[in-house]
Amino acid sequence: MRELDTGLTIRSVDTVSLGDRSYLVHDGEVAFVVDPQRDIDRLLEMLDGEGVRLTHVFETHIHNDYVTGGLALARAAGAQYLINADDKVSFDRTPVEDGELIAIGDRMRLRAIHTPGHTFTHLSYALSDVADPLAVFTGGSLLYGATGRPDLLGPEHTDTLVRRQHASAHKLAATLPDATEVYPTHGFGSFCSATQSDATESTIGQEKRANPVLTQDEERYARELLAGLSAWPAYYAHMGPANSAGPGAPDLSIPERADAAQLRRRIDAGEWVVDLRTRKAFAAGHAPGTLNFGLDGAFPTYVGWLIAWGTPVTLLGKTATEVAQAQRELVRIGIDRPAAYATGGPGNWSLGTPASFPTATFAELEQVRHHREVVVLDVRRADEFASARIEQAINLPIHELPRRIDEVPPGEVWVHCAAGYRASIAASFLDAAGRRLVAIDDQFDNAAKAGLPLVGSQR
């Protein structure tokens, strides 16, 4: 929570798993929200706790990385829902245009600023307490030490958008005081951010001094940003259409419970049965054919990235609380209803003996490679692999593995990523395919320390 000197309150609602923030701002009586996530109960509870009335809900843009809760929140609270007038949507909303000033209560004023780059119709909103700007909500435009990526609308638009992103950042820097606090929606691990930063707060003045978009000329900024872009999650393709259609509030009621026999039928039918436990627990024992997407990592991002859209998903957790958490994460990316769920452990979920596979470190890989031939499978992104990799390793990025698993060479597979989370996902697919494997649960930085030969642009 941030208390401004004027008495206005800005509260952020973090969605860590997607790298996003929504904002609730109020003057003690009335409130507005910027870029709300799908699970609006968090905001409704916050409004009730603050004792304020919601009058306006703003979208900075039609989001690509999550399903918005904007329309549902506005309807639930009887608030106006404001979207750029140029955005083509299929529901009634309050259109807003560049330069428009919106009064909220007696003190708060929001000025819409057209800041294209992340999308063509992107808006930022500058907050004033009647007088000078105090804060700016920049959505996917000006981020902490970065900008939103310009390539999500397709390669035919990328060059135009990256240059507009540069111009938009300079527009904000030129028209807002240096003391203006910056509140982006993306940039905390979201793939909507072109690069990542560890900063948790900033001002226009700080960004002028440190953000490449404001310290580099247009050509250098465009060249370096585009050269650094990596793959983005496949589920993004479904978010824009969902948000333009006006998603309703999610159904977070518990799905039907499945027993071991039903789980087996679902796996045999090609459905996804997802084990939510940690990678260590999964490796030690799991129901054969289940897939490991632990809640302790970027769970919704990787489920959404790897799944064939529309595939039924069943959730397995130690407790109903874990299942409910996973269900909440999935509605944020448009996977609205799990097919079923089960709780307990692999003994409850297996018709026979649970499956398992060994885990190891890079030091153990260095030892074993002197005694027998193994396949080293690197499931990091292509840009990570190009930067530094184990000599003779095979690269199949995790988001490509499900459809390319037959390309993994025969033999014993030692699979790794940068820290272990993606390797466990990959290991679960390999295990389900009947492969003999070892999952490396270790930091990639330890590979060189263990004596493994590395090659790549940074070696």
pLDDT tens sequence across 8-36: 999 999 999 999 999 999 999 999 999 99
Provide the pairing of β-strand 94-96 with 101-104: unpaired
pLDDT at 458 (0 to 100): 62
Which helix H or strand E contains 376, and what residues bound it? strand 375-378
The most distant pair of C-alpha atoms in the chain lies apart, rounded to whole Å, by 76
Residue 31 pairs in a beta bridge with 26, 54
- How many Cα atoms within 13 Å fall on the side-chain side of residue 237? 10
Task: Read off the pLDDT band of 194 (50, 70, 90).
Answer: low
Task: Read off the pLDDT band of 151 (50, 70, 90).
Answer: very high
The overall average pLDDT reported for the chain is: 95
pLDDT at 132 (0 to 100): 81
> How far is it, in rounded angstroms, from Cα 456 to Cα 459?
5
55-79 confidence digits (pLDDT tens):
999 999 999 999 999 999 999 999 9
Strand order in the sheet with 437-440: 359-360, 437-440, 413-416, 375-378, 394-395
> How far is it, in rounded angstroms, from Cα 9 to Cα 22?
14
Structure-token pair, residue 125: 């909103």
pLDDT at 1 (0 to 100): 55
At residue 89's C-alpha, the angle toward residues 88 and 94, to 5°, is: 100
Topology of domain 359-455, per CATH? Answer: Oxidized Rhodanese; domain 1 (3.40.250)
Share of the chain above pLDDT 90, in %: 93
Q: What is the pTM of this model?
A: 0.93
Residue with tokens 């009586």: 29
Instruction: List all residues 6 or more positions away from 277 whose beta carbon is below 8 Å from its beta carbon.
Output: 292, 294, 316, 317, 318
Alpha-carbon distance values, 241 to 4, 153, 355 (Å):
37, 12, 40
pLDDT at 99 (0 to 100): 97
Where does 394-453 have alpha helices with state H?
401-404, 421-432, 445-449
pLDDT at 28 (0 to 100): 95
- Report domain extents, the chain: 2-245, 260-349, 359-455
CA nearest neighbour of 68 among 43, 44, 92, 35 = 35
- Domain 2-245: give its CATH architecture: 4-Layer Sandwich (3.60)
Topology of domain 260-349, per CATH? Answer: Oxidized Rhodanese; domain 1 (3.40.250)
- Taking residues 147-151, what's their average pLDDT? 95
> How far is it, in rounded angstroms, from Cα 380 to Cα 329?
23
pLDDT at 150 (0 to 100): 96
43-61 confidence digits (pLDDT tens):
999 999 999 999 999 999 9
- Taking residues 299-326, what's their average pLDDT? 97
> How far is it, in rounded angstroms, from Cα 314 to Cα 327?
10
Given a cut of 90, whether residue 196 has pLDDT beyond it is no
pLDDT at 459 (0 to 100): 55
Can 2-245 and 359-455 be said to share one CATH topology? no
Task: Read off the pLDDT band of 7 (50, 70, 90).
Answer: confident
